[in-house]
């Protein structure tokens, strides 16, 4: 139970209010300065409820309040300010962190419940784009946060492996392709063929007919078409898995669009039974006029199904298979309409769980103010970007710490972590400006900054251990703790609240900001407080315990973001 919820409970008892615990808790503030209390409760809403003056009500609540961890309450200007018993509270928080380790902050809110997370989901035979990187990184962080709250999270990579584009690809491959070249560098080669097809088709429309023909054959299970498609798929997935390996991200399911091929008839039958399908220029659509949306295209004139049809089938399948409480789709802003239509169609079918589908949308990755795109010749190969980031990290590390042993490994953690952190530290709806130099700085709001703070704290702890004191001290109430320690203790104790907020708003930037704050507090502390050369053994021991707890929470925050925390840098 968090301190805030304990206070909320007491406020409810002390005042007898009708407001819910959740509401009361949401009003509790954390004053910036401890001179105004560690927590404060504004009494204005309750004052209205009881038709009392806020300052009088504040006085009454302050009077009636009893909580072990709170040494003093005071009423001030319509607020009740709560002062923690710092030594007692610090001891409790540190004990909690040190005994739980990486499990600190774990909650059971989601026990026995499942959430599906549709993330990454690149299209085969196409380069892994920056948009897919964003989806992968944001989705993975949200999945980690959700798991931390006790949910069973199913990470689904809804691979784009079906659609008329494969007719085009097969056509192009048959005319211009070379097996050798595709084997050598699959995705760039297949992508080239695809682009070439479009260039040629402009002057030669019969190519489009041929492509339609090939796609039809593919749908009918023609051996040659299927074999080629399978091969394209396989080599693409191999290439993607290199990216996932670098990012150290894995999935529970690779059921992509093609997986739903044999589940389409059911969807169409249901829509038909409900009388929702209408003819429109030979195609079949679900009209969504009342919802203020354009019609959702379900089946083309030639019988072929579409992206939306496959997503409908996937939604039903996931509900059946995982009986999710929420079904999340981490996909860029540009698909908002698609997901609105998807939900609208389900609602027309009177599906109660339609509301549980959530589109977690995000902004673009920009380079020099423009979208980093994979179109035409301008391919930004994600792997190259990641390699570059690791190389820059290695340079920086060599300069900073030439004697470091596992340089490559650390450079990997820092290089990849920098890219991920840079993506995650801003609210996902905002665009991200891609600038490797910025993200790799060891100062400011970067991944390396947080990692470095963690490594630094680890190094102090190592030295202390070498001096054979310290870490043995018991977590007795640390009487020596003052304002500097208080700030760190309060930050550490807010960890579970931050996880809840990140979850409630599907916003991993909350965790990233938290990690920066904690790293900053630690750096300030370290700059102004003696630790290793503190003479008083007890005081030194308590400070080291605080450091130990800080490393645990920093490392765990980074882990939630999908980022490694090397112990030496």
Say how far apart CA 349 and CA 296 lie, in whole Å.
Answer: 14
- Residue 60 structure tokens: 């009454």
We find the least distance from the C-beta atom of residue 271 to ligand ARG, in angstroms, to be: 18
121 touches ligand ARG (CB under 6 A): yes
210: Cβ contacts below 8 Å, ≥ 6 apart: 167, 171
- From the list 25, 38, 118, 356, which residue makes contact with ligand ARG (rule: CB under 6 A)? 118
**Residue with the shortest CB distance to ligand ARG:** 160
Rank residues 142 and 515 by Cβ distance to ligand ARG and give the closer one.
142
When asked if residue 344 is in the footprint of ligand ARG (CB under 6 A), the reply is no
Q: Does 311 bind ligand ARG (CB under 6 A)?
A: yes
What tokens appear for 72 in the block? 């003093």
Q: Alpha-carbon distance 512 to 492, whole Å?
A: 14
> Taking contact as CB under 6 A, which single stretch among the options 46-54, 75-83, 118-126, 439-447 is the one that binds ligand ARG?
118-126
How many other β-carbons are positioned within 10 Å of the β-carbon of residue 204?
Answer: 11
Q: Is 500 in the site for ligand ARG (CB under 6 A)?
A: no
Instruction: Give the number of other Cβ atoms within 10 Å of residue 276's Cβ.
Output: 18
- What does the alpha-carbon distance between residue 60 and residue 14 come to, in Å, rounded to a whole number? 8
Does residue 564 contact residue 558 with C-beta atoms inside 8 Å? yes
Which residue, 65 or 329, has its beta carbon nearer to ligand ARG?
A: 329
Q: Quote the least distance from Cβ 253 to ligand ARG, whole Å.
A: 12
Smallest gap from residue 120 Cβ to ligand ARG (A)? 8
Q: How far is the CB of 121 from ligand ARG (least distance, A)?
A: 4
Q: What are residue 123's DSSP bridge partners?
A: 160
Q: How many amino acids of this chain bind ligand ARG (CB under 6 A)? A: 10
Q: Which is nearer to ligand ARG, 231 or 307 (CB)?
A: 307
Q: Pick from 10, 15, 81, 123: which binds ligand ARG (CB under 6 A)?
A: 123
Nearest to 490 by CA among 453, 455, 517: 517
Task: Quote the distance between the C-alpha of residue 472 and its chain's center.
Answer: 37
At CA 111, angle to CA 106 and CA 112, rounded to 5?
Answer: 155
What is the smallest separation between the CB atom of 264 and ligand ARG, expressed in angstroms?
15
236 binds ligand ARG (CB under 6 A): no
Taking the least distance from each CB to ligand ARG, the nearer of 122 and 186 is 122
Cβ contacts of 352 within 8 Å, gap of 6 or more: none
Per CB under 6 A, which region of 1-9, 116-124, 213-221, 239-247 contacts ligand ARG?
A: 116-124
As beta bridge partners, residue 73 has: 82
The stretch among 117-125, 278-286, 291-299, 343-351 that binds ligand ARG (CB under 6 A) is 117-125
Retrieve residue 406's tokens.
């596992």
Which of 155/555 has CB closer to ligand ARG? Answer: 155
CA distance 567 to 106: 23
526 binds ligand ARG (CB under 6 A): no
Q: What is the dihedral of CA 530, 532, 537, 541, to 10 degrees?
A: 90
Candidates 141, 331, 386, 470; binder of ligand ARG (CB under 6 A) is 331
Among 127, 160, 177, 448, binds ligand ARG (CB under 6 A): 160
The residue within the footprint of ligand ARG, chosen from 215, 316, 329, 481 (CB under 6 A), is 329
3 state DSSP class of 337: helix
Cβ–Cβ under 8 Å, residues 325 and 296: no
List residues near ligand ARG by CB under 6 A. 118, 121-123, 158, 160, 311, 314, 329, 331
């Amino acid at each position: 139970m968090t301190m805030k919820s304990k206070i909320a409970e007491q406020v409810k008892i002390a005042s007898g209010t009708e407001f819910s615990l959740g509401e009361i808790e949401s009003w509790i503030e954390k004053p910036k300065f401890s001179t105004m209390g560690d927590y404060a409760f504004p009494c204005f809403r309750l004052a209205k409820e009881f038709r009392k003056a806020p300052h009088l009500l504040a006085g009454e609540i302050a009077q009636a309040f009893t909580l072990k961890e709170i040494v003093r309450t005071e009423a001030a200007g319509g607020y009740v300010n709560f002062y923690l018993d710092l030594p007692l509270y610090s001891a409790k928080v540190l004990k909690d962190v040190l005994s739980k380790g990486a499990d600190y902050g774990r909650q059971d809110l989601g026990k026995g419940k499942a959430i599906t997370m549709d993330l990454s989901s690149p299209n085969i035979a196409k380069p892994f784009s920056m948009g897919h990187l964003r989806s992968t990184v944001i989705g993975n962080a949200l999945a980690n946060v959700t798991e931390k709250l006790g949910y069973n999270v199913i990470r689904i990579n809804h691979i784009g492996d079906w659609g008329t584009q494969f007719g085009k690809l097969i056509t192009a491959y048959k005319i211009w392709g070379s097996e050798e070249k595709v084997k050598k560098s699959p995705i760039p080669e297949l992508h080239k063929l695809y682009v070439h097809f479009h260039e040629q088709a402009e002057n030669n429309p019969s190519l489009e007919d041929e492509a339609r023909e090939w796609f039809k054959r593919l749908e009918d299970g023609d051996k040659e078409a299927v074999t080629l498609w399978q091969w394209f798929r396989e080599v693409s997935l191999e290439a993607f898995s290199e990216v996932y390996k670098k990012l150290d991200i894995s999935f529970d399911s690779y059921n992509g669009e093609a997986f739903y091929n044999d589940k389409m008839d059911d969807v169409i039958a249901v829509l038909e039974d409900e009388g929702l399908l209408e003819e429109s220029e030979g195609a079949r659509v679900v009209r969504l006029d009342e919802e203020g949306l354009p019609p959702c295209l379900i089946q083309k004139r030639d019988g072929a199904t579409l992206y939306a049809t496959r997503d409908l089938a996937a939604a039903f399948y996931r509900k059946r298979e995982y009986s999710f409480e929420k079904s999340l789709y981490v996909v860029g802003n540009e698909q908002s309409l698609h997901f609105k239509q998807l939900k609208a169609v389900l609602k027309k079918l009177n599906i109660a769980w339609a509301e549980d589908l959530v589109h977690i949308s995000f902004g673009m990755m920009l380079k020099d103010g423009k979208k980093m795109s994979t179109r035409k010749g301008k391919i930004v190969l994600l792997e190259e970007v990641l390699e570059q980031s690791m190389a820059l990290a290695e340079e920086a590390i060599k300069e900073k710490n030439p004697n470091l042993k596992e340089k490559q490994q650390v450079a990997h953690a820092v290089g990849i972590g920098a890219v991920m952190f840079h993506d995650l530290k801003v609210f996902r709806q905002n665009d991200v400006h891609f600038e490797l130099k910025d993200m790799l700085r060891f100062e400011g709001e970067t991944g390396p900054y947080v990692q470095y703070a963690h490594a630094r704290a680890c190094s102090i702890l190592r030295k202390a251990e070498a001096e054979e004191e310290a870490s043995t001290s018991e977590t007795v109430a640390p009487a020596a703790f003052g304002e500097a320690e208080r700030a760190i203790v309060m930050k550490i104790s807010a960890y579970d609240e931050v996880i809840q907020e990140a979850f409630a708003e599907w916003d991993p930037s909350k965790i990233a900001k938290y990690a920066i704050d904690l790293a900053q507090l630690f750096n300030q502390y370290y700059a102004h407080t003696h630790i290793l050369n503190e003479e008083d053994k007890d005081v030194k021991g308590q400070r080291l315990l605080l450091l130990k707890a800080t490393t645990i929470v920093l490392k765990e925050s980074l882990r939630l973001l999908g980022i490694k925390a090397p112990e030496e840098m």
